[in-house]
């Protein structure tokens, strides 16, 4: 059985007028959080990311974006408040540099992680600390020109799963083992050593834009029909 997963890409670099427009639809607590960012650039990216989330959810739910209410897990993962929960909409978002990625699915958990590909001089050291021994060995065995991409593929895959479960980075990356061998489809191999638990999830590796890599984690053993589109802010 195939289930639909919608992915939306959003450019976070907007004009001052557009940023102000999106700020007006944020809740009081979102506005307060925005004000806590020290750098204006980070504050603006947060406003655009959260304002756009409200716009997209408003599109799906057919209600005004400022009427949407959220609840948060103990680790801060947002979800629709119980009053909106009957439609089964699950979502997650990630942003890096000037790009944001949003994932939406119904009646099953979803996590997304997006990373801008940039040089990391200690990528192998980080992998040895946060990846499994098998994952680190695969990265070490790759030609130097392929190691950085393998690192980011592994990182986004682990993060996407942990975000889907609501753990985020608080859930240690080495709990999650993923496939990193060249030409092997991205998939979860084990969660805390449990192969059966990993089999209950699907991973989808995507290249959403030049110099970006992302992974989508979706709960369930059925395949997912992914649709990737650009959200145009009107």
Regarding whether 130 and 31 lie in a shared domain, the answer is no
Domain enclosing residue 56, as ranges:
3-112
Which CATH number goes with the domain that contains 53?
3.90.470.20
Residue pair 132/174 in contact by the 8 Å Cβ criterion: yes
Regarding whether 162 and 75 lie in a shared domain, the answer is no
pLDDT of residue 2: 54
pLDDT band for position 199 (cuts 50, 70, 90)? very high
Q: Which residues contact 112 (CB under 8 A, 6 or more apart)?
A: 7, 92, 93, 94, 101, 102, 103, 160, 163, 214, 215, 216, 217
Q: Please indicate, yes or no, if residue 215 is contained in any of the structural domains.
A: no
Q: Which helix (H) or strand (E) holds 231?
A: none
| Residue 201: φ, ψ to 5° | -130, 155
Q: Please indicate, yes or no, if residue 226 is contained in any of the structural domains.
A: no
Q: What distances in angstroms separate CA 143 from CA 39, 149, 213, 226, one per listed residue?
A: 38, 11, 19, 31
Which residues are registered as beta bridge partners of 78? Answer: 72
Regarding whether 132 and 51 lie in a shared domain, the answer is no
pLDDT of residue 105: 93
Q: Which helix (H) or strand (E) holds 155?
A: helix 144-165
Return d(Cα 193, Cα 209) in angstroms, integer: 33
Judge residue 50's burial from the number of C-beta atoms within 10 Å of its C-beta, 0-12 exposed, 13-18 middle, 19 or more buried. Answer: buried
In the chain, the number of structural domains is 2
Regarding whether 108 and 8 lie in a shared domain, the answer is yes
Regarding whether 38 and 16 lie in a shared domain, the answer is yes
pLDDT in tens, 136-149: 889 889 898 888 99
Regarding whether 104 and 55 lie in a shared domain, the answer is yes
Regarding whether 107 and 8 lie in a shared domain, the answer is yes
pLDDT in tens, 151-185: 999 999 999 999 998 876 555 788 899 998 877 88
Q: Is the pLDDT of residue 1 over 50?
A: no
Return d(Cα 116, Cα 104) in angstroms, integer: 21
Sign of the dihedral through C-alpha 206, 209, 211, 214 = negative
């Amino acid at each position: 059985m195939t289930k639909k997963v919608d992915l939306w890409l959003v450019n976070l670099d907007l004009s001052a007028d557009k940023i102000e427009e999106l700020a007006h639809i944020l809740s009081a607590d979102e506005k307060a959080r925005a004000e806590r960012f020290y750098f204006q650039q980070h504050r603006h990216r947060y406003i655009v990311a959260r304002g756009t989330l409200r716009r997209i959810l408003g599109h799906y739910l057919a209600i005004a974006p400022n009427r949407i209410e959220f609840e948060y897990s103990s680790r801060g993962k947002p979800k629709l408040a119980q009053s909106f929960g009957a439609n089964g909409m699950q979502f997650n978002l990630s942003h890096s540099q000037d790009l944001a990625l949003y994932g939406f699915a119904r009646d099953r958990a979803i996590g997304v992680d997006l990373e801008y590909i940039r040089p990391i001089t200690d990528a192998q050291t980080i992998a040895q600390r946060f990846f499994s021994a098998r994952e680190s060995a695969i990265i070490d065995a790759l030609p130097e020109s392929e190691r950085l991409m393998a690192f980011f593929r592994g990182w986004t895959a682990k993060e996407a799963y942990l975000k889907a479960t609501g753990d985020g980075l608080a859930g240690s990356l080495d709990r999650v083992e993923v496939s990193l061998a060249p030409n092997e489809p991205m998939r979860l191999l084990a969660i805390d050593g449990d192969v059966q638990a990993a089999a209950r999830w699907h991973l989808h590796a995507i290249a959403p834009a030049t110099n970006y890599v992302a992974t989508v984690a979706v709960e369930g053993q059925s395949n997912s029909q992914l649709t990737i589109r650009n959200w145009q802010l009107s």
